[in-house]
Amino acid sequence: MKLYLTPGSCSTGIHILMEELELVFEAHLVNLLTGDQNTPEYLAMNPKATIPTLVRNDGTALTEFQAIAYWLARSYPKAKLLPGDPDGDARVIELMDYVVGTIHGQGFARIFTTNRFALNEADFEAVKAQGMDIVKRGFAVVNDGLSPQGYVMDTFTIADAALFYVEFWADKIGISLPENCLKHYRLMLERPVVRRVLMEEGYRLN
């Protein structure tokens, strides 16, 4: 398989899941700043021009964080990346979708790609402030429903990989995480695979 990723992005969550599963794959770096996602070769695989993209063994490409994470969990059920019961699976997907769709897609997107939300540069700061508010309110919602003991569920799931990458972003730009989210973030940083993936993507760890 081939995973098309950008270091330190949402694709880091998928990178973590694939390493947790001990899958053999090729990692292909996509430089968003130089426009790698808009090349004809990349658009032929993923016309959305987004990351991550997972090209599977049969040559078909799968896009969108939630879809790739779900496919990995269902394809390798022994790893128990989903709880396995309808209510547990739904809870995992519920949190993952909120993290990706709201905290990332509505909040951090306004902070990192402000020009997509405002045509007038004079409005940029207001858009960033709105994004910051969405992120903080989003973490507060997650925090209130998160177990103080650690993971989203009793054990590590695909939702933890999603929550980790936005917690990582918050840490990098100085957004304080609420108590339970901070405990989750620190617990994730203790996982050997997470530490290895971050180092592979070029981050130094204390």
Q: Is the pLDDT of residue 119 over 70?
A: yes
What's the domain range around 10? 2-79
How far from the centroid of its chain's Cα atoms is residue 33's Cα? 19
Cα–Cα distance, 87 to 97 (Å, whole number): 15
Instruction: Inform me whether the pLDDT recorded for 148 exceeds 80.
Output: no
Q: Looking at 35, 54, 79, which one is the last position of a domain? A: 79
**What pLDDT is stored for residue 204 in this prediction?**
83
Q: How confident is the model at residue 87 (pLDDT cuts 50, 70, 90)?
A: very high
Last residue of a domain, which of 79, 100, 119?
A: 79
Task: Check pLDDT > 70 for residue 202.
Answer: yes
> Is position 96 within any domain?
yes
Boundary (domain end) residue, out of 45, 79, 113: 79
Asked about 9 being catalytic, the answer comes back as yes
Write down the catalytic residue from 9, 11, 75, 176.
Answer: 9
Q: What is the CATH number of the domain that holds 7?
A: 3.40.30.10
Same domain, 6 and 61: yes
Same structural domain, 64 and 114:
no
Q: Are 66 and 100 in contact (CB under 8 A)?
A: yes
pLDDT band with cut points at 50, 70 and 90 for residue 118: very high
Q: What's the average model confidence in pLDDT over 99-118?
A: 96
| 1-30 tens-digit pLDDT | 999 999 999 999 999 999 999 999 999 999
Is residue 65 located within the same domain as residue 157? no
Mention every residue, 6+ apart, whose C-beta is less than 8 A from residue 176.
170
Cα separation, 197 vs 16, in Å, equals: 6
Q: Is residue 132 part of a domain?
A: yes
Which positions ≥6 away from 28 have C-beta within 8 Å? 2, 3, 4, 5
- Largest interatomic CA distance in the chain: 52
Domains in the chain, number: 2
Extract the tokens encoding 115.
């020009």
Same domain, 30 and 114: no
Calpha distance 5→54 (Å, rounded): 9
Q: Which two tokens stand for residue 170?
A: 């918050």
- Mean pLDDT, rounded, for 173-177: 97
pLDDT cut 70: percent of the chain above it: 100
Q: What is the per-residue pLDDT for 164?
A: 98
pLDDT at residue number 206: 67
Q: Are residues 64 and 100 in the same domain?
A: no
